[in-house]
Structure 1
Amino acid sequence: MSLLSTDAFVVEQPWSAMSLLLRSKYRVEAYDGYDAPLGFADETRRAFGVGFLRRMSLSRWTPFHLRVVAPNGEPLLVITKSAGFFRRPTKVAAPNGQPIGSIVPQRSRYALLDANGTQLCLLGDVAQFQTGQIKKRNGNRVRRDVIQIRPGTTGSIRLLAVAAAVAFDIVRGIGTNHLSSDAGSFLPIE
Structure 2
Amino acid sequence: MGVLQADTLVIEHPWGFGKVLLRTRYEVTVRDERDALLATVAERSGPGALKLVRMTQLSASTPYELVVADPGGAAVLSIAKGFSLGKGEMRVVDPTGSPIGSVRYHGPRDIRLSDPAGRVLCVLDDVARLEFGVLAKRGRDKIRRDTLRLSPGLAHPVRALAVATGLAFEIVRGNGTSTGPGESSFPGA
Structure 1 length-normalised TM = 0.91
- In 1: Cα distance, 2:181 partner to 2:135 partner: 17
Match for residue 166 of structure 1?
167
- In 1: Cα distance, 2:148 partner to 2:183 partner: 18
Deviations 1:128-169 (A, max 9, x none): 110111111112111100111000101100000110111110
The one-letter amino acid of 1:24's match is T
Report the secondary structure of 1:169's partner residue.
Answer: helix
Where does 1:10-159 land on structure 2 (aligned, <5 Å)? 10-46=10-46, 48-108=48-108, 109-159=110-160
Shift of 1:177: 2.2
- In 2: Cα distance, 1:19 partner to 1:75 partner: 25
Report the secondary structure of 2:174's partner residue.
Answer: coil
- In 1: Cα distance, 2:45 partner to 2:145 partner: 25
Report the secondary structure of 1:131's partner residue.
Answer: strand
C-alpha distance 53-111 of structure 1, shift in aligned 2 (>3 A): same
Report the secondary structure of 2:152's partner residue.
Answer: coil
Shift of 1:179: 5.1
| Structure 1 gaps, min length 5 | 184-190
Report the secondary structure of 1:29's partner residue.
Answer: strand
Match for residue 176 of structure 2?
175
Report the secondary structure of 1:49's partner residue.
Answer: helix
User: Among the aligned pairs, what percent are the same residue?
Assistant: 36
Q: Is the 8 A contact 2:87 2:172 kept in 1?
A: no
- In 1: Cα distance, 2:180 partner to 2:150 partner: 28
- In 2: Cα distance, 1:33 partner to 1:42 partner: 21
- In 2: Cα distance, 1:37 partner to 1:141 partner: 17
Report the secondary structure of 2:132's partner residue.
Answer: strand
Aligned residues: 183
Deviations 1:60-117 (A, max 9, x none): 1110000000001111000001112133111100111111000111132200000110
The one-letter amino acid of 2:8's match is A
Q: Is the 8 A contact 1:29 1:39 kept in 2?
A: yes
Q: Is the 8 A contact 1:174 1:181 kept in 2?
A: no
- In 1: Cα distance, 2:82 partner to 2:168 partner: 14
| Structure 2 gaps, min length 5 | 185-189
The one-letter amino acid of 1:80's match is A
The one-letter amino acid of 2:165's match is A
Shift of 1:48: 3.7
